[in-house]
């Protein structure tokens, strides 16, 4: 059987040396084809005696099975290697734009929120977040909204079915509930901003059912109205990039602040064009005030010891003013042409030191 052992080793070596599927097929034909070496030995079995034929046939079948098994293993290996090579050659980077001229843009809302965070972070504010679905206590009651207040009515607020425990649930109408949750869960001093989505039942050029707000809250033992004014003056001048931008504080009323004020910035409307700066005209952009003692007490804070201020503004509104966007509804229409025009280069992170927009 030495001859068959040598044949087996030789054929297995040829199978193992095959570098591709074509070479493996040549090795298979050389071993098992009609003119293959094993096939040739099989043809010679007829000249042997029955006993010799049985013994040599069993040995040849063992060689044949071993070679066939080696061919299948090598075929699987070469198939995987060929597939890997093809995948590597045909690899597509899905992070690249489909068209060479295409380039992603950051939405103006995302850019504006990053700018807000950058400015207020320089003043020591941290970012706080809260749920979009709120209950009546966090959205209204804790903020000193009395029963029957117009803001509670169905025509302004998106109400949801009552929860299992009987609480009246709604989509938050402002980000003030984040202030309430912060005061309930954190002891003063507090200095946070709360950017996020809010919801009200309205839709026109300057209103949409879903929009974005940012609110700020400072609570400690010494903060007063002068600090509020200085904070907002610094913010507006940094955000709009106008060093001498004038601000005017007008007395107003909000249930959650006392005293309250609306803030106007200087502008010009000559020739039908709105231009920000020290031009003698005014444009309202936000509301603010000192946190009402009732709000502090509702959140478990001693109003005889602590005081603070709060402010809030629409992110779309200040983005429209800064970047000259005329219609609020276009922010949510998913028009790539609009985004290409008003969008920002990704990864160009705003900072006060390097400049908010470049």
Pairing mode of beta strands 307-314, 281-291: antiparallel
> Which of the following CATH numbers is that of domain 108-342: 3.90.226.10, 2.102.10.10, 3.30.930.10, 1.10.10.10?
3.30.930.10
Q: What tens digit of pLDDT does each residue of 211-259 get?
A: 999 999 999 999 999 999 999 999 999 999 999 999 999 999 999 999 9
Per-residue confidence band for 204, with pLDDT thresholds at 50, 70 and 90: low
Joined together, the tokens standing for residue 157 give 């607020």
Per-residue confidence band for 282, with pLDDT thresholds at 50, 70 and 90: very high
Per-residue confidence band for 46, with pLDDT thresholds at 50, 70 and 90: low
Assign 133 to helix, strand or coil.
Answer: strand
Higher pLDDT, residue 112 or 80: 112
> What are the structural domain ranges in the chain?
2-89, 108-342
Residue 207 carries which DSSP code?
A: B
For residues 102 and 96, give the distance between their C-alpha atoms in angstroms, rounded to a whole number.
Answer: 9
Q: Give the pLDDT confidence score for residue 356 in this predicted structure.
A: 62
Q: Are 239 and 119 in contact (CB under 8 A)?
A: yes
Assign 282 to helix, strand or coil.
Answer: strand
Residue 352 above 80 pLDDT? Answer: no
Q: What tens digit of pLDDT does each residue of 58-101 get?
A: 777 777 777 788 888 888 888 888 888 888 888 877 777 666 66
Q: Give the pLDDT confidence score for residue 161 in this predicted structure.
A: 85
For residues 193 and 17, give the distance between their C-alpha atoms in angstroms, rounded to a whole number.
Answer: 69
Which segment of 44-53, 104-113, 302-311 scores lowest on mean pLDDT?
44-53
Per-residue confidence band for 49, with pLDDT thresholds at 50, 70 and 90: confident
Residue 159 carries which DSSP code?
A: B
Which residue has tokens 């206590």?
Answer: 137
Assign 312 to helix, strand or coil.
Answer: strand
**Which contiguous run of DSSP H or E holds residue 86?**
helix 50-89
Q: What tens digit of pLDDT does each residue of 188-203 get?
A: 999 999 999 999 887 6
Distances (CA, A) of 285 to 80, 277, 335: 64, 14, 27
Residue 358 above 60 pLDDT? Answer: no
Pairing mode of beta strands 257-268, 281-291: antiparallel
Contacts of 207 (CB under 8 A, 6+ apart): 200, 328
């Amino acid at each position: 059987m030495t001859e068959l052992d040598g044949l087996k080793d030789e054929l297995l070596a040829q199978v193992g040396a095959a570098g591709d599927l074509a070479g493996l097929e040549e090795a298979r034909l050389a071993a098992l084809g009609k003119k293959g070496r094993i096939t040739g030995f099989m043809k010679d079995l007829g000249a042997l005696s029955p006993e010799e034929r049985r013994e040599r046939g069993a040995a040849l079948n063992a060689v044949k099975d071993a070679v066939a098994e080696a061919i299948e293993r090598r075929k699987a290996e070469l198939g995987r290697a060929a597939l890997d090579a093809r995948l590597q050659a045909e690899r597509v980077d899905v992070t690249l734009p489909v068209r060479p001229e295409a380039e992603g843009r950051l939405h103006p809302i995302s850019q504006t929120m990053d700018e807000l965070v950058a400015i207020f972070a320089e003043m020591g504010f941290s970012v706080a977040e809260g749920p979009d679905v709120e209950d009546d206590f966090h959205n209204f009651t804790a903020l000193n909204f009395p029963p029957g207040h117009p803001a509670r009515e169905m025509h302004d607020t998106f109400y949801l079915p009552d929860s299992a425990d009987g609480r009246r649930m709604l989509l938050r109408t402002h980000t003030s509930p984040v202030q309430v949750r912060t005061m309930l869960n954190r002891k003063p001093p507090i200095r946070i901003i709360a950017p996020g989505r809010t919801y009200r039942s309205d839709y026109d050029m300057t209103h949409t059912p879903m929009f974005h707000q940012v609110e700020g809250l400072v609570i400690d033992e010494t903060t007063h109205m002068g600090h509020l004014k200085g904070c907002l003056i610094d913010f507006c001048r940094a955000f709009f990039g106008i060093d001498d931008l004038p601000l005017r504080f007008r007395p107003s009323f909000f249930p959650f602040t006392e005293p309250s004020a609306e803030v106007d910035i200087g502008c010009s409307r000559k020739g039908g064009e709105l231009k920000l700066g020290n031009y003698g005209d005014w444009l309202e952009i936000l509301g603010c005030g000192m946190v009402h003692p009732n709000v502090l007490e509702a959140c478990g804070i001693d109003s005889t010891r602590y005081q603070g201020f709060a402010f809030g503004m629409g992110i779309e509104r200040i983005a429209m003013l800064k970047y000259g966007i005329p219609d609020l509804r276009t922010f949510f229409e998913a028009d790539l042409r609009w985004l290409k025009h008003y969008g920002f280069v990704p990864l160009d992170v705003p900072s006060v030191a390097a400049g908010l927009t470049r």
